[in-house]
Amino acid sequence: MEVRVQNIRKEFGRFPALEDVSLDIRSGELIALLGPSGSGKTTLLRLVAGLESPTEGMIFFGEQDASRKSVQERNIGFVFQHYALFRHMTVLDNVSFGLKVRPSNRRPPAAEIRRRALDLIDLVQLSGLEKRYPGQLSGGQRQRVALARAMAVEPNVLLLDEPFGALDAQVRKELRKWLREIHDRTGHTTIFVTHDQEEALELADRVVVMSKGAIEQVGTPDEIYDHPVSPFVYGFIGQSNCLNVTLANGEIWFEDRPIGLRAANEPDGTATLYFRPHDIELIDGCGGCLAGLVTASRRVAGTRHLELDLGRAHPSVEIELPPERATSTDHTRVAFRPTKWKLFRKEEKRGAAQQRVETPAAELARTGT
């Protein structure tokens, strides 16, 4: 089912947790809410679930306005970070709970409930464990029970709040793959919250990057990674370097020299240059480049990471090279130029009133190739 979040605002006391958030979720989509803690992602999820009520704004399930409906009426499946299983019930009772509590006119017969619960237990690969109690299961198994329990009510939308947050790395990776398979098989519209970008990029059809109670960017994992629209997204997703540069006649200058990159339609002034460590080319003989001394070098799996010192006034920059091309000795001079980069203009701080009139930084940004 489609889920539409419209101009939602949520305040806890006087503290705003979400500010004017709108989001369209397509039917059958697996979408990730990604952001640092305190970005409002869990609040947004709980608002969709009906576990919180919005201060302002509306939520639609399909064409229906769900904003005034109670949690029970929304028919959603919710999976909690710490499982929240009923520990006095067996796995089977946990999974069939949602069907058993239905009013008698909508409740399937007992045999049907049992059959559906067993099917789901089978789907989450826990066949044979249906008589166990949650206390007798491992963390990964408990979370699979929680997922089966949430899916048993045939929810309009499946909501997962950091579902793998309490599990160790190995189990986490396994479950991630497995969740994707389950989603492809069952096709539930699914929203999940995570602070782990790897998880979001690997698992989701689309990723919603959130920061400070607002949505920064919505897009496919490729769009988010290759075309971040704000400095926050650039910095939050993947590795990145940023340098303070100046623009003069469409040329980008670093300190006192041009670095061989052009941004033709940009007005003169200061800006910040963002690029990823692996989007660079090495240059022999520097006629317009960035150059620095190697201060540290690390081998990480298939690449070598070099840390470069570009001058005392600047933060050090990290680049990634194939191991055979990298010199590992310290204090070598390395000249390079970003192949993919982006400029963000700083919003000048003259006063709150004027700031709003200015064009947002995102629209000024240009991507070079």
Partner 1 sequence: MASRSSTRWRFRQPSVIPGFGLALGVTLAWLTLIVLIPISGLIWRSSGLGWSKFIELTLDPRTVNALTISFGTAFIAAVVNLFFGVILAWALVRYRFPGKRVIDAMVDLPFALPTAVAGIALTALYAPNGWIGSLLEPLGIKIAFTPAGIVVALIFVGLPFVVRTVQPIMEEIDKEVEEAAATLGANRFQTISRVLLPGLLPAGLTGFALAFARGVGEYGSVIFIAGNLPYVSEIAPLLIIIRLEEFNYAAATAIASVMLLLSFFMLLVINMIQAWSRGRYGYGS
Q: Which residues bind partner 1 (CB under 8 A)?
A: 49, 51, 71-72, 75-78, 80, 82, 84-88, 97-98, 101-102, 133-136, 146, 149-150, 152-153
* Helix/strand/coil for 219: strand
**What distances in angstroms separate CA 284 from CA 281, 289, 291, one per listed residue?**
10, 10, 11
Name the minimum Å distance from CB 296 to partner 1: 42
First-to-last alpha carbon distance for the chain, in angstroms, is 39
7 or 136, CB closer to partner 1?
136
Minimum distance of partner 1 from residue 24's CB (angstroms): 23
3-state secondary structure of 86: coil
- Rounded least distance, CB 199 to partner 1, Å: 21
Q: Tell me the closest approach of the beta carbon of residue 102 to partner 1, in angstroms.
A: 6
For residue 32, list its beta bridge partners: 192, 207
> Nearer to partner 1 by C-beta: 80 or 225?
80
Strand segments, DSSP code E, in 195-350 are: 206-211, 214-219, 241-248, 251-254, 257-262, 269-275, 280-282, 290-300, 303-309, 317-321, 333-338, 341-344
Are the C-beta atoms of 123 and 148 separated by less than 8 Å? yes
Nearer to partner 1, 146 or 321 (CB): 146
Q: What's the closest the beta carbon of residue 177 comes to partner 1, in angstroms?
A: 25
- The SS3 assignment for 79 reads strand
Backbone φ, ψ for residue 354 (5° rounding):
-75, -30
CB of 72 to partner 1, least distance (A): 5
Which CB, 59 or 229, lies closer to partner 1?
A: 59
Alpha helices by DSSP H, the chain: 41-49, 71-74, 91-100, 110-123, 139-152, 169-186, 197-203, 221-226, 231-236, 352-357, 361-364
Q: Do 206 and 29 contact (CB within 8 A), yes or no?
A: yes
Query: CB-wise, 144 or 345, nearer to partner 1?
Result: 144
Q: Using CA atoms, how far apart are residues 204 and 300, in angstroms rounded to an integer?
A: 26
Angle between helices 91-100 and 139-152 (to 10 degrees): 20
> Minimal distance in Å, beta carbon 146 to partner 1?
8
CB of 150 or CB of 167, closer to partner 1: 150
Minimum distance of partner 1 from residue 149's CB (angstroms) = 7
For partner 1, the closer CB: 69 or 257: 69
Between 88 and 115, name the residue whose CB sits nearer to partner 1: 88
For 193, the enclosing helix (H) or strand (E) is: strand 190-194
